[in-house]
Amino acid sequence: MNILILGRGKTGSLVAEVAAERKHHVRVVTSQENPACAALTQEALQAIDAVIDFTTPHAVLAHIEAGVKAGKNMVVGTTGWYKEIDHVRALVEQHKTGFVYAANFSVGVNLFFDVARAAAAALRHDYSGQIFERHHVHKKDAPSGTAIAIQQVIRDASGHKENLEITSFREGDVVGLHEVVLESPADRIYLCHDAKSRRGFAEGAVRAAEWLAPKKGFYDFKDVWREL
């Protein structure tokens, strides 16, 4: 596949490395090389099979709109645009492209969602809960998209109308640590996922692009990762 990667940050660079290891042809574009989405026109993307975005919340929606309108499949790991999810879904359907998004492309984190979903039953048995997340000091959004996804998973599974409180920490070079704490008068349950590197995110994103290649439609990675 010919893959265009938007973003040369730590994750974007690792996505490029993983894609090259998996024998794909890779081109990486930085924000300086993509003013007003100049790298995402139909002409510029003519030879591209998939676009993978790991950029910033303020830029990602414009990238999505440009890539989809150019008719290209997209894999989006950037968060911060989910209020526009209905608009993006309609755009993907209108232009008959393929689209996969995720708060986190790590298989381990998606397994953790399942663990959190099962543990949410505790909230129906006099437990209270909190979510804690820690990331490096350069992460721009707080709470993290993954923490928000965990919050939604637990809310949906428990039937509670109120969301669990999320507490965010930004320190050092922490890749990503997410913890759910459920507490009753009798005991305390700790659930934790601690990413040792960004490689899990990168591998998941590249495999998502491969999975998406023959498909059209709008997909959430947490619903399809078992098919990879």
Percentage of the chain exceeding pLDDT 90: 93
Residue 141: pLDDT over 90: no
CATH 3.30.360.10 in the chain: give the residue spans.
107-194
pLDDT at residue 82 in the model: 93
For the chain, give percent helix, strand, coil, nearest 5: 45, 25, 30
pLDDT number for residue 104: 93
- How high is the pLDDT of residue 132? 98
DSSP assignment of 204-226: HHHHHHHHHTT--EEEEHHHHGG
Q: Where does the pLDDT of residue 140 fall: very low under 50, low under 70, confident under 90, or very high at 90 and above?
A: confident
Residues annotated catalytic, as ranges: 135, 139
What digits encode the pLDDT tens for the residues 198-215? Answer: 999 999 999 999 999 999
pLDDT level of residue 228 (50, 70, 90 thresholds): confident
Which pLDDT value is given to residue 171? 95
Summarize pLDDT for 58-88 with one digit per residue, the tens: 999 999 999 999 999 999 999 989 999 999 9
Which of the four CATH numbers 3.40.50.720, 3.30.70.3040, 3.55.40.20, 3.50.50.60 does domain 2-105+199-227 have? Answer: 3.40.50.720
pLDDT tens-digit readout, 96-111 = 999 999 999 999 999 9
CA distance to 111, 143, 146, 190, per residue, from 169 (Å): 23, 9, 14, 18
The SS3 assignment for 77 reads coil
Cα(147)–Cα(162) distance, rounded to whole angstroms?
15
Upper half-sphere CA count for residue 208 (Cβ side, 13 Å)? 32
What stretch(es) of the chain map to CATH 3.40.50.720? 2-105+199-227
pLDDT digits (tens, 9 = 90+) for 168-189: 999 999 999 999 999 999 999 9
Strand 128-135 versus strand 165-170 pairing type: parallel
The domain made up of 107-194 is a member of CATH 3.30.360.10: yes
- The model's pTM: 0.88
